[in-house]
Amino acid sequence: MTQAIYPGSFDPVTKGHLDIIIRSSKIMDRLIVAVLDNPRKVATFDIEQRVEMLKMVTKPYPNVEVDFYKGLLIDYAEQKKIDILIKGLRAISDFEFEFQMALVNQKLNPSIETLFMMTNSKYSYLSSSIVKEIAALGGDIRSLVPPEVFDMVVSEYS
């Protein structure tokens, strides 16, 4: 059984995130979408809201679970007995950071592999930060976030 974790802050979930989730769910028997609860980072949406958003958008995918974790991703992966991490890449800058993280994770636990998945080109510019900025300035984010979370994101900024 192939299992993987797709970690992230998902603050909020975007269509780019959902693209990676859908594509990963097609090649994995089980995919855990794991929301990082990072106390050093100020999130717009609390952990419960982010988990709720992800549960709404992943409902059609029976092999996708949503969870959250604190601490090191590698510890979470060990706890879940999963040895594949999925990382979505948009640009070279993402690769540089994620490559460094993959090497650190490999050092901490050589049995855990990181698989990089390129985002669909139509989402290569998209990030949660961009969504939040556009929403805060009253812009239309319909094409940027899944419809299930649109109202939740917009209401945060109205």
Domain that holds residue 10: 3-156
Instruction: Give the tens place of pLDDT for each residue, 7-61.
Output: 999 999 999 999 999 999 999 999 999 999 988 888 999 999 999 999 999 999 9
- Number of domains, the chain: 1
Q: What is the CATH number of the domain that holds 61?
A: 3.40.50.620
Considering 30, 80, 90, 127, which one is annotated as catalytic? 90
Burial degree of 59 (CB within 10 A; 0-12, 13-18, 19+):
exposed
pLDDT (average), residues 92-114: 93
- Strand, coil or helix: 41: coil
Kindly name the residue from 15, 17, 50, 87 that is annotated as catalytic.
Answer: 17
**In the chain, what is the straight-line distance between the N-terminal and C-terminal CA atoms, in Å?**
45
pLDDT at 47: 96
User: Catalytic residue at 41?
Assistant: yes
Active site annotation includes 128:
yes
